[in-house]
Structure 1
Amino acid sequence: MPIGQIAEKLEIHRHTVARHLEHRGITIRVRGLANEHIAEAIRLYEGGLTLAEVGQRYGASAQAVRRAISAKGVTIRPRGRNRHLVGSA
C-alpha cells in the first residue's frame, strides 16, 4: 500500500508514516523508475511501447518513465502509439 494511502487512512502526515516504517526496519520502495531499469525502459520505449506500458512493467507511472528517459536524452513521441513499431519490442 502506498505511503499516501496509509497516511490518509490513519489521518496522519505521510512523513510520519515513513518515519514509523523506517524505524521498524521496513524498506520503503523508491518512487519512479529504478536506475537499473532505465536502459531497458529506453529500449522498450524506442521499440514501440508507450510510456504507460513501460511503467507497468516496472511499477512506475508513465510520468516517472518520461522523466527518467528524457533525462537520458530520449525524445518523447507525441501521445499515442506508433503503429509501425508495434510488435517490434
Structure 2
Amino acid sequence: MAKTLTLKNLPDALHARLSAAAKHHRRSLNNEAIVCLEAGLAAASVPVPDRLREIRALRQTLGSSDFEPNVIETFKEEGRP
C-alpha cells in the first residue's frame, strides 16, 4: 500500500532544484521526489561482491556443519510458495 510522506523545513534552494528537475523531466514535484529518493537509496546499496564477502565471513564465524548444501537447499524449497 502506498504511504504518504510530508517533508517539513525543506530549504528553499532544495525545493527550487527539485521543482526545476521536475519541470525538466516533465514530472510532478511528488514524482520527481520519488525518483530522486529511489536513485539515492539505490546508490547507497552494497555492491553484490561486497555483500557476498560479508556473507562468507559470517559463515566462517558460524562454522560449516549447520550450513551443508543439502540443508541450504531444504530451506530454499521450504521458502517457495
Q: Same fold (TM over 0.5)?
A: no
- With the shorter chain as reference, the TM-score category is under 0.3
TM-score of the pair, normalised by structure 1: 0.23
Q: 1 or 2 for the larger relative contact order (CA 8 Å, sep ≥6)? A: 1
By percentage of residues, which structure has more helix?
A: 2
* Largest Rg, 1 or 2: 2
TM-score of the pair, normalised by structure 2: 0.24
